Structure 1
Amino acid sequence: MPTVALMWEAKAAPGRGPDLLSWVRGRELPADARCERREHFTAPGDRVLVITCWTGGYDADVPELPDPPPELSARPVHRWRFERA
């Protein structure tokens, strides 16, 4: 079965890294979604990364995490999509 990974990366507004992480952890995925795994990471510079893995190929119709509220973010969210090799 193919798997697609979605990567969501945001840079928090100055001093708001913990708030951004808490916000994204609180975002629910649809109950009927085919999410195999979800992981959260942080990095210097108040960056937050979320990786979700889904059943389906590269073009699978899977839900994306939303943009955070403007007061939590220093720039637009970066998103990437990868297919398991």
Structure 2
Amino acid sequence: MAERFFLYDDTEETKTRFVSFMGENTRFDLAITQTDRHYGKSLVLDMQGSRFAIIGQDDLDEEGYLEHAFQLSEEDAAELRSFLFELL
């Protein structure tokens, strides 16, 4: 067997918040992990939709980012954006 070539193999302390809330049309079940790894951005995992994105304040301002990353309607993305603005 050939020697494994690692690009990186790091261990880091993280802070993870698990939160579930009901929007107007959809339920959000999220795991939000804060780490120093991604330049101060958070790793947001949608546990029901099996999707994730690395999100910072600048990403919340980018039109269509949440819609694309989480495959959401504009209305559902607006609810998620509002929640994440309070958190991030």
Query: Taking structure 2 as the reference length, what is the TM-score of the superposition?
Result: 0.29
Q: RCO higher in 1 or 2 (8 Å CA, sep ≥ 6)? A: 1
- Higher relative strand content: 1
Structure 1 or 2, whichever has the larger Rg, is 2
| TM-score, L = length of structure 1 | 0.29
